[in-house]
Amino acid sequence: MNDRLPAGIAPVVNESGIEIQPLYTAADVAASGGDAMLGRPGEFPFTRGIHPMMYRKQPWTMRQYTGFGNAADTNARFKYLIANGQTGLNVAFDLPTQCGLASDYPLADGEVGRVCMAIDTLRDVEVAFEGIDLDRITVSLTINGSASILIAMYLAMAERRGFDVAKLRGTAQNDILKEFVGRGTWIYPVEPSLRFVGDTIEYCAKHAPKYSPVSVCGYHIRESGANPAQEMAYAFCIACAYADEVLKRGVPIDEFAGRLSFNFNIFGNLFEQVAKFRAGRGLWAKLVAERYGATKPGSMWLRMIAGGGGSGLTFEQPELNIVRGAYYALVSALSGAQTMALCCYDEAYTIPSEYAQRISLRTMQLLIEEIGLADTVDPLGGSYYVETLTNRMRSEMERIIAGVDARGGIVGLIASGEIQSQVSAQAYRRQRDLESGAYRKVGVNCYRTEDEEPDVEFHPYDEADARAQVARLAEVRCTRDGAAVERALEAVRRAAAEGSNTMPSIVEAVKAYASVGEITGALVSVVGRYREPVRFGE
Amino acid sequence: MTAAPRMRPIRVVLAKPGLDGHDQGAKVVVRALLAAGMEVIYTGLRQTPEAVARIARDEDVDVIALSSMAGSHLAFCRRLKPLLDEAGLADKLWIIGGNLPKQDHGELRALGFRGIFPSSSRLDDITAFIEREVRGSRAATQPEAHA
Contact at CB, A115 and B45, closer than 8 angstroms: no
d(CA B64, CA A516): 33
pLDDT attached to residue B1: 45
Angle at which helix A354-369 crosses helix A71-83, to 10 degrees, equals 30
Q: Does A99 reach chain B within 8 Å, measured CB to CB?
A: yes
Contact at CB, A428 and B19, closer than 8 angstroms: no
Exposed e or buried b for every residue in B83-94, given b needs 16+ CB within 10 A? Answer: bbeebebeebbb
Nearest CA-CA distance, residue A427 and chain B, Å = 7
Whole-prediction pTM value? Answer: 0.96
Q: Domain residue spans in chain B?
A: 11-141
Nearest CA-CA distance, residue B23 and chain A, Å = 7
CB < 8 Å to B127, chain A = none
Nearest CA-CA distance, residue A29 and chain B, Å = 37
One digit per residue, the tens of pLDDT, for chain A of length 538 reads 467 888 999 999 999 999 999 999 999 999 999 999 999 999 999 999 999 999 999 999 999 999 888 999 999 999 999 999 999 999 999 999 999 999 999 889 889 999 899 999 999 999 999 999 999 999 999 999 999 999 999 999 999 999 999 999 999 999 999 999 999 999 999 999 999 999 999 999 999 999 999 999 999 999 999 999 999 999 999 999 999 999 999 999 999 999 999 999 999 999 999 999 999 999 999 999 999 999 999 999 999 999 999 999 999 999 999 999 999 999 999 999 999 999 999 998 988 999 999 999 999 999 999 999 999 999 999 999 999 999 999 999 999 999 999 999 999 999 999 999 999 999 999 999 999 999 999 999 999 998 777 878 888 888 889 999 999 999 999 999 999 999 999 999 999 999 999 999 999 999 999 999 999 999 999 999 999 998 898 7
Q: Are strands B115-118 and B93-98 parallel, antiparallel or unpaired?
A: parallel
pLDDT attached to residue A460: 84
pLDDT attached to residue A529: 97
Q: Does A106 reach chain B within 8 Å, measured CB to CB?
A: yes
Q: Decide: helix, strand or coil at residue A198.
A: helix
Contact at CB, B32 and A444, closer than 8 angstroms: no
A346 touches A318 (CB < 8 A)? yes
Residue-wise pLDDT for A282-296, tens only, equals 999 999 999 999 999
pLDDT attached to residue A175: 98
Domains of chain A: 19-436 (3.20.20.240)
Cα of B65 vs its chain's centroid, Å = 2
Query: What residues of chain A, 298 to 327, have a C-beta less than 8 Å from chain B?
Result: 314-316
d(CA A45, CA A30): 18
Contact at CB, B21 and A185, closer than 8 angstroms: yes
d(CA A270, CA B97): 32
Q: Does A69 reach chain B within 8 Å, measured CB to CB?
A: no
The ipTM of this complex is 0.94
CB < 8 Å to B48, chain A = 106-107
Nearest one of A179, A127, A132 to A153, comparing CA atoms: A127
Interface mutation target, options A68, A101, A115, chain B, most CBs of B under 10 Å: A115
What's the CATH code, domain B11-141? 3.40.50.280
pLDDT attached to residue A456: 86
Chain B residue with minimum CA distance to A421: B27
Contact at CB, A95 and B20, closer than 8 angstroms: yes
Q: What angle do CA A452, A455, A458 make, to 5 degrees?
A: 125
Q: What angle do CA B82, B84, B89 make, to 5 degrees?
A: 135
* % of chain B with per-residue pLDDT over 90: 86
A214 conformational bin, left if phi > 0, alpha if psi -120 to 50, beta if neither: beta
Contacts of B2 (CB under 8 A, 6+ apart): none
pLDDT attached to residue A2: 67
pLDDT attached to residue A107: 87
Chain B residue with minimum CA distance to A185: B21
Alpha helices of A136-189 — where are they, by DSSP H?
147-160, 176-181
Which segments of chain B have a pLDDT < 50? 1, 145-147
pLDDT attached to residue B147: 40
pLDDT attached to residue B6: 65
pLDDT attached to residue B143: 56
